[in-house]
Chain A
């Protein structure tokens, strides 16, 4: 390094700089030319022709994630539901087994027994029937409480609507588990509700409310109520109120106007709300486990027990497949409604 500041050094620095720039320019030109050369251009057009560009990447990343972690697992569940349980880790036999040296020695351990077992053992059928019943009753109850609430919020003064809606969603943001837990304290024999009723003199000894089907219904309605109110509110709020005014002008009584105008127009919201409550409620585990009777037959609980207590993975998988088959129609229907809703917005 030569000491800086000497006048004759300056041109050299500039020269070096110029050389650097020239090199950079040359590099860019070469790369540019290279990029335009047939093989690379060919590759680029091939990629573009197959749609591989930024746009494809945006689609591909979440797509691959969901394929790998949402769709493929179902195939594995299906596979394992056909295999036989064994005491090992993992506790099931592989479907294909290489018994000898030759290719012909592959043994196929397909065991349709698990799915047949579900049909033969009345426990599972009763569990499915009971889950459907519990979910249906709870959904109906949630509709009876949710509809008036959604209606009242949608017809409240506009400046109040946001706050009221926020108050419906707020419990949903707090822990689901703790909200179920709250009902244990209320429903148990020396709990809040029994104490209140005793104090009021309505009853003279505590009623058993915890660990009953009633508690399960209550828990489901309580936890899923926001899911019922949201779609109902969305549709009731958008409704054209001049229709009701027209009905009133023509002499229609309010109750009749509600039944023949408001209710039919809000049906998409009713369907969406009921689906959002019914489908997860069928497979619900936490609520029946904490609030329901110890021997309650809810399919989610049966699956849990088969898996964690009996360590029978194939039967648990078979239960999951059966539950999925049961719910596939409502889920598809829900998706179609959802899709149409999204189309409507765009």
Chain B
């Protein structure tokens, strides 16, 4: 490839990543601003972090969101793994098209539609069966599981699709029953996919504003709902502080995950190399 070409590619990269990261870095930068006017520099200060941790409303909302996100991620991982297993391993069964449709549609479905439809479901079932009594953590969690199980399904399905079935067949030939094969062979191999599915479901739930606004009841405001009502009134420095904390945690998590995966990859490659080099 020519030098002109590689220069062009370098400028694409610089432009693309500047576009992605300048806004985030500006959030972080201004979180240390002493001035209340977020974008006018008034000297270095960590005052807004202190204010953030005194804000009871934000802390309560954050705790609620974390609980919902954890339960949601666990539920979505279980259901999504089952759906992914069915789609990737069971061949053509009756209703497969519908299942595959119901697991991909939520990915692109506008959130206002999902939110409204789930709320109307909850209202209808409450009228008919008295369940759920009022709306809150349980309804938000159910709504989030419905949304995020699609992501887990796609991750698990594509992991299983790229996986060699011969391992499972070998276990089967040796007399293991399907449940044992799944628990002892399939599950350990797809566990990285389950971890990333869990984390994705967790972050999507932690981030969702629209669906939670529809299906939450009075007194159960999630973190995004509180942030949204603050941000609507304009910029405020403690939100910058909150953003900085969230960005740092996510970056740390991704860097650690990346490092662990890199090491696993290297170890596997080394094992493979040794196996290939072995005489015989």
Contact = CB atoms under 8 A, between A and B. Distances in A.
Nearest to A178: B243
Contacts of A316: 116
Interface string A270-310: 00000110011011111001100000000010011001100
A190 B37 contact: yes
Given A55-B90, A177-B228, A185-B39, A283 B120 contact: no
Contacts of A63: 83, 95, 99, 102
Chain A: interface size category: 35 or more
Contacts of B179: 54
B117 A151 contact: no
B158 to A, nearest CB: 6
A156 interface: yes
B209 interface: yes
Contact of B104 (A59, A65, A167, A334): A334
Interface residues of B, number: 94
A185 B235 contact: yes
Contact of A335 (B26, B101, B207, B235): B101
Contacts of A283: 110-113
B77 to A, nearest CB: 11
A86 B161 CA distance: 51
Nearest to A172: B203
A283 to B, nearest CB: 2
A157 B10 CA distance: 12
Contacts of A74: 117
B142 A59 contact: no
Question: B106, B108, B146 — which one has the most chain A CB atoms within 10 A of its CB?
Answer: B108
B61 interface: no
B243 to A, nearest CB: 4
A151 B6 CA distance: 11
A297 B181 CA distance: 54
A345 B87 CA distance: 13
B17 interface: yes
A164 B258 CA distance: 12
A181 B27 contact: yes
Interface stretch (A18-26, A40-48, A96-104, A319-327): A319-327
B65 to A, nearest CB: 11
A339 B100 contact: yes
A155 B10 CA distance: 10
Interface string A152-179: 1101100000111011101101111111
B52 to A, nearest CB: 13
Interface in B167-216: 178-179, 203, 206-207, 209-210, 213-214
B210 A285 contact: yes
Contact of B246 (A67, A167, A174, A183): A174
Given A66-B102, A183-B23, A342 B120 contact: no
Contacts of B27: 178, 181-182, 185
Contacts of A345: 158, 161-162
A268 B105 CA distance: 18
Contacts of B17: 149, 167
B9 A151 contact: yes
B207 A175 contact: yes
Nearest to A226: B20
B190 to A, nearest CB: 14
A149 B12 contact: yes
B255 to A, nearest CB: 9
B10 A152 contact: yes
A121 B103 CA distance: 35
A163 B12 CA distance: 16
A152 B243 CA distance: 29
Interface in B70-125: 79-80, 82-83, 85-88, 90, 93, 95, 99-113, 116-118, 120-121, 123-124
B20 A152 contact: no
A155 B120 CA distance: 48
A151 B12 contact: yes
B7 to A, nearest CB: 11
B111 A76 contact: no
A59 B123 contact: no
Contacts of B88: 346
Interface of B: 1-2, 5, 9-10, 12-13, 15-17, 19-24, 26-27, 30, 37-40, 79-80, 82-83, 85-88, 90, 93, 95, 99-113, 116-118, 120-121, 123-124, 127, 142-143, 145-146, 149, 153, 157-158, 161-162, 178-179, 203, 206-207, 209-210, 213-214, 224, 227-228, 231-232, 234-235, 239-240, 242-243, 246-247, 250-251, 253-254, 258
Interface of A: 54-55, 58-59, 61-63, 65-67, 69-74, 76-77, 80, 90, 145-146, 148-149, 151-153, 155-156, 162-164, 166-168, 170-171, 173-179, 181-186, 188, 190-192, 195, 222, 225, 254, 275-276, 279-280, 282-286, 289-290, 300, 303-304, 307-308, 313, 316-317, 320, 323-324, 327, 331, 334-335, 338-339, 342, 345-346
19 contacts: A69-B145, A70-B102, A149-B13, A173-B250, A174-B24, A177-B224, A181-B239, A182-B243, A185-B27, A276-B107, A276-B108, A279-B108, A282-B110, A290-B232, A303-B112, A320-B113, A324-B113, A327-B109, A335-B104
Given A69-B145, A280-B108, 20 more contacts: A58-B85, A62-B86, A66-B149, A90-B123, A152-B10, A152-B16, A155-B9, A156-B13, A171-B24, A173-B254, A174-B247, A175-B206, A178-B239, A179-B24, A181-B243, A182-B26, A254-B2, A331-B109, A334-B108, A335-B105
